[in-house]
Structure 1
Amino acid sequence: MTSPRTRLDRGRNALGPALELVHTGRAPTRSVLTTELGVTRATAGAVAAELQTLGLITVDAGPGAATGGQGRPSHRLSIADDGPVALAAQVHADGYRAALVGLGGRLVATAPPSPTVDADPAEVLRAVVATGAALLRDSGRTCIGAALAVPSAVAEPDGTALNPLHLAWPVGAPVRRIFTECLAEAGITAPGYCGNDMNLTALAEHRHGAGQGARHLLCVATGHHGVGGALVVDGRLHSGSAGLALEVGHLTVDPDGRPCHCGSRGCLDIETDPRALLAAAGREPGPEGILLDQAGDLVRSGYPADPTVRDATRTVIDRLGLGLAGLVNILNPDRILLGGLHRVLLEADAERLRAVVEERSLWGRSGSVPVLPTSLHHGGLVGAGELAWQHVLDDPLTALTATA
């Protein structure tokens, strides 16, 4: 017979998995939670009640709740509307932004973007934390953690930005330490984290966007500059031994192509970003902060009617397809998501892009690798929120007790 103590320990051990199921929308009712956890109804009920006591979810047993497996009304589980939040921050080459992110990947509050980034990372992070602190004060919410998304590989475990190529920051800037110090200066006692923006976008898409349900999810995207990539395996980011995996931007797609800032030639990073498309179409690039919109608008308005835009778009699509094919051969993902300008290229001519991937990759020929657009509008911020929430998802009771 199972002792009361054993049942209690089992319930506590299930708090994290249960919270993640509700967080990702996979357990909308207590009946589904019972099945997914593989526990008794009593244990599932106790777990849900504990998460509600912690202020993380709500349990609705009233009429109209979703139906359970036996046709009986089942308690509906949802994210608490007034629950705690994470402070999420993102730095781009053209600015920074702060937001509050709740469970379920919900953006509770978002500050307007700042259009400038100082060459001193401490100045930038102090400003973005101050913006986030103001959001927290206005919201009155408890902050469980803070996380920063940056356009650079972030070395683990020290949290240094090894190659902020599109920022004027020094190589090896200790961004996590600076970010944590800025949080303390602002009176935010929650733990601070830092990660690569593309990695965090992929994590957000896997949990709340177009990547839901994929076991091996590959994300590739380009913003105003360069190309980033990330891989999520069984719900966890594959970041390599030191956090530096999936620097896909420096995969060669044209050996005779343009010199890349990494020292090589013809990299995906420099052959498939907005500048590459504008150059191929004979267009002068505009200011730094509008390159993505400029290239995207050109494709949307000129493809396929304008011959120059058509040829330029097809050239960049073919380069992108070649790079994706190489990644498919190495990683064998079961889904690929494209963001930024790459999403626009997919929407412009999905058939051509998919044909290149299929022709040039072994696994792509099976037709079993869907190539889809990303779906989250602020994927980097949502992903930073995911990073900040992770210690709570792992052990809600300990994390929230420490925060209190």
Structure 2
Amino acid sequence: MSGDADPRTAGERTTSRARLDRGRGALGPALELVHTGRAPTRAVLTAELGVTRATAGAVAAELEALGLIRVDARPGAAAGSQGRPSHRLEIADEGPVALAAQVHADGFRAALVGLGGRIVATAPGCETVDADPAKVLRSVVEAGAELLRTTGRRCVGAGLAVPSAVAEPDGLALNPLHLAWPVGAPVRRTFAECVRDAGITGPAFAGNDVNLAALAEHRHGAGRGARDLLCVATGHRGVGGALVLDGRLHTGSSGLALEVGHLTVNPEGRPCHCGSRGCLDVEADPLALLVEAGREPGPEVSLLQQANDLLRTQYGDPAVRRAAEALIDRLGLGLAGLVNILNPDRIILGGLHRTLLDADAGRLRAVVADRSLWGQSGGVPILPCTLDHNSLVGAAELAWQPVLDDPLGALAA
């Protein structure tokens, strides 16, 4: 036998190959378990997949060979524990990344995001957004391409978060209200063209920023472990919502589900751009808080910061407290209606709504419980979003999804 020959018998090689073949269908589910932090060890992976320990070992080894995870076969035992600790499964430190891009009213940013939702690198953000979508998307993709050149990382694809409903199947931004972009701008196609022109490999995707924030929070943040997750959030203007059902983002038949901003919460309230009056969009956003508190709003690109600062530094002012209570009551009314319709097992709040929750969680929870059928039977947990840059991380999740679905197929493409 030569020194390069495989010392295993033919039977051993056949058995090992059979285990891997049986486990190939489990590669995607296994990677998702590690990606979302639900399988920190090989023992947990074995139990979650419902396979033998040998098959789980073959699956983990294949994911390691693909450069996606690292298997620590000699982890240290916890103090006081007995027996040999199970192999630890971790995200590979130098593994591939997704290019994530976000455009919002006060600028745009690019980042590289690895498995596990970890932001590997970010480009300096730009604070102005041109009226030409192609010019903006070209700039943000160029910033991402520079990050890839600098880090030398392999890219699996690219994802874009925009402050607009994105209609399927064409990827059109239907209501970029706080950008000077034309209605119906083909953001997905334009973004994909910019990605291709920059020489970046992998598919390109685009989605609504609140939808993507919800997806990121469900996999890596405050929504982890929820089955049916409702997310409601504010930016500088307006209110957005998203729903994750059984672990998948629910976007409806054409990508336009959960336009929660147009729930009426104050029939005699402010006129809304949709043609109605008293919508959550204009009754529970930063501008509404500032006006309600008698403050003169500054530039639109700083409305969220102004509102958050007002609540955090001047909540003792009676006018500010009354304004906050009015917004909490309106938000609670809207959430109660959504609870009645959707019956989520968890609600997470972002933007100004997270700050309102911090200011008076008891009042908000009481309004939701009082006005919702299911709230009275025990309450739905209402929690703040926890991830920094959750829309960016969510944009990366779009690009990671083909890899999670079929690691071998996606990385061999």
TM-score by length of 2: 0.94
SS of residue matched to 1:257: coil
2:25 maps to 1:13: yes
1:225 aligned residue: 237
**What letter is aligned with 1:94?**
D
Shift of the alpha carbon at 1:339? 0.5
2:212 maps to 1:200: yes
Unaligned runs of 5+ in 1: none
CA deviations 1:144-177 (Å, max 9, x no partner) are 0100000111111211111111211111111000
Provide the aligned length of Structure 1 versus Structure 2.
Answer: 399
SS of residue matched to 2:199: coil
Moved more, 387-396 or 7-16: 7-16
Aligned mates of 2:75, 2:380 — CA distance in 1 = 42
Matching residue within 85, 92, 113 for 1:73: 85
Aligned mates of 1:63, 1:275 — CA distance in 2 = 52
CA deviations 1:221-257 (Å, max 9, x no partner) are 0011111100001110011111110010111111111
Cα 1:3/1:241, change in 2 over 3 Å: farther
Aligned mates of 2:38, 2:73 — CA distance in 1 = 18
Shift of the alpha carbon at 1:70? 8.2
Aligned mates of 2:274, 2:67 — CA distance in 1 = 48
Matched-pair contact (CA < 8 Å) for 1:66–1:76: no
Alignment of 1:225-304 (within 5 A): 225-303=237-315
Matched-pair contact (CA < 8 Å) for 2:369–2:379: no
Aligned mates of 1:80, 1:6 — CA distance in 2 = 26
Aligned mates of 1:213, 1:66 — CA distance in 2 = 25
**What letter is aligned with 1:72?**
R
Aligned mates of 2:223, 2:370 — CA distance in 1 = 24
Shift of the alpha carbon at 1:179? 0.2
2:96 maps to 1:118: no
Unaligned runs of 5+ in 2: 1-13
2:3 aligned residue: none
Matched-pair contact (CA < 8 Å) for 2:20–2:59: no
Matched-pair contact (CA < 8 Å) for 2:227–2:345: yes
Matched-pair contact (CA < 8 Å) for 2:241–2:258: yes
Aligned mates of 1:40, 1:83 — CA distance in 2 = 27
Aligned mates of 1:241, 1:5 — CA distance in 2 = 42
Matched-pair contact (CA < 8 Å) for 2:231–2:241: yes
Aligned mates of 1:66, 1:169 — CA distance in 2 = 56
Matching residue within 317, 320, 325 for 2:331: 320
CA deviations 1:246-300 (Å, max 9, x no partner) are 0101111111111111111111011100000000001011112211111011111
Matching residue within 170, 183, 186 for 1:158: 170
**What letter is aligned with 1:220?**
V
1:355 aligned residue: 366
Aligned mates of 2:21, 2:265 — CA distance in 1 = 53
CA deviations 1:31-61 (Å, max 9, x no partner) are 1100100000110000000000000000011
Aligned mates of 1:357, 1:166 — CA distance in 2 = 30
Larger-Rg structure: 2
Aligned mates of 2:378, 2:239 — CA distance in 1 = 25
Moved more, 110-119 or 270-279: 110-119
Matching residue within 168, 175, 180 for 1:168: 180
Matched-pair contact (CA < 8 Å) for 1:83–1:141: yes
Cα 1:63/1:198, change in 2 over 3 Å: closer
Moved more, 185-194 or 138-147: 185-194
Shift of the alpha carbon at 1:66? 7.0
CA RMSD, 1 decimal: 1.5
Matched-pair contact (CA < 8 Å) for 1:334–1:368: no
Matched-pair contact (CA < 8 Å) for 1:65–1:76: no
Aligned mates of 1:376, 1:66 — CA distance in 2 = 29
Percentage of pairs with the same residue: 78
Aligned mates of 2:386, 2:366 — CA distance in 1 = 22
